[in-house]
A and B are shown apart, each in its own frame.
Chain A
Amino acid sequence: MARLTDFSEAERKHHLEKIRDLPDFGLTPFVPGPPLRERRVAIVTTSGVHARGDRPFHIGAADYRVITGDTTAADLLMSHVSVNFDRSGFQEDINVVFPIDRLRELEGEGVIGSISNFHYSFMGAAPIRALEPKARELAALLKKDRVDAVLLTPV
């Protein structure tokens, strides 16, 4: 359904206006890595999910929450500020947003090497430039955990 032609005129206009405001990042060098079966994978989501008991996201928040690798579905809440996306899928099955069970299966089958001990969650409504310092901080943490494949998943 996320084809622009499927949205209402007002929704389509909203999303197209966002494109006009995007900064020009140019082309970023393509980081090489080992074969997939040797890669260590982490999820970085912008869905605003976090562990129950952790701080909910504020409007405009550019910081992130840590989700440990052993987090279960019952531990995860969502405090994204937007009301313009579906939450019923996440309520039914976290894997529709945060595919941790599917990753565990692929690890078991040897498709990927391993799964990181830590995953991270931002809230996608943050101003783009405000994400840069936090992303740098995150890159250092990911490298320390030997992650060489990050899955970026929005809502």
Chain B
Amino acid sequence: MGALGHYLEREGVATAQISLIREQTAAIKPPRALWVPFMLGRPFGAPNEPDFQRRVLRHLLSLFERREGPVLEDFPEDAPAAAAQEDGFACPVSFAPVLAEGRGLTRAMWEEIAQLASWYSLARKRRGRTTVGVFGATVDDAARHVASYVDGPPDTPPVAGWSAGMSVKRACDDVKAYYYEAVAAQPGNLAAKAIEDWFWRETAAAKAFLAIRDICLNSDDESLKPLGKLSLIPRFVTDSLDAAQRKQHST
């Protein structure tokens, strides 16, 4: 992000950037930057908080009125907490604990998808949109591709020019978006961390992704290997798995 500020400004275009990690911005010294104390993925603070978003935006725009730089300022407010945060998090459906592997695992994922369908439709109606659609038209397209990796053999990429790695990555992203949107069907901003914890700890889909991660790590396909290391499972999940393994080895 800071690099783009340097590159564009050197070409004569004035820039002002949001900084999410202050230490990185301080090191790269872009012309104008506003550090915000918000979680990664939310540079304007919180959804459905137009007044707050406007305050961030106006502060950012005000940096264009500075006469010299580099400027790195701190936004003085924390993001508003999600309204539902204090009431805890309740998934609208309850899933059976996932113990199965292979076909049992994908069957459990399909059952979850069916259980979430009406919540997903409600969410789509309330928001007037969905972010499912990077892999294919519907979540079923994506889930079939995910299932083919767990059950074997993996389906070929659906689009000419897509690698196996990009295909399965996009399929996983669509399945995850479907789950995230479905559980947020009811109005009120759920805490991001609550949705994330629910998905990664309680769903068969997440366990299917972990199975695919192992397939990627052991694959000879150069497009699958980097996925296994970096781009399927968040670091907080892989870190806790690694820590559990270390604990198991030491006992």
Contacts and interface: CB of A to CB of B under 8 A. Distances in A.
A139 B13 contact: yes
Interface string A101-114: 11101100001100
Given A97-B42, A155-B43, A90 B29 contact: no
A28 B31 contact: yes
A30 B231 CA distance: 37
Interface string B233-247: 111100100000000
A90 B133 CA distance: 15
Q: Which of A88, A132, A135, A139 has the most CB of B within 10 A?
A: A88
Interface stretch (B101-109, B139-147, B149-157, B166-174): B166-174
**Interface size grouping (class) on chain A:** 35 or more
Interface string A100-141: 011101100001100000000010100010011001101110
Interface in B176-225: 177, 180-181, 184, 189-190, 192, 195-196, 223
A101 B51 CA distance: 12
Interface string A31-49: 1110110010100101000
Contact of B8 (A2, A15, A82, A142): A142
A83 B234 contact: yes
B166 to A, nearest CB: 6
**Interface size grouping (class) on chain B:** 35 or more
Contacts of B57: 99, 102-103, 106, 151
A124 B1 contact: yes
A91 B177 contact: yes
B44 A2 contact: no
Q: Which of A143, A147, A149 has the most CB of B within 10 A?
A: A149
Contacts of A99: 44, 53, 57
Interface string B53-87: 11001101110110111100000000100000000
Given A22-B24, A89-B47, A139-B7, 10 more contacts: A10-B235, A35-B65, A39-B64, A44-B8, A88-B192, A89-B192, A91-B184, A132-B3, A151-B61, A154-B18
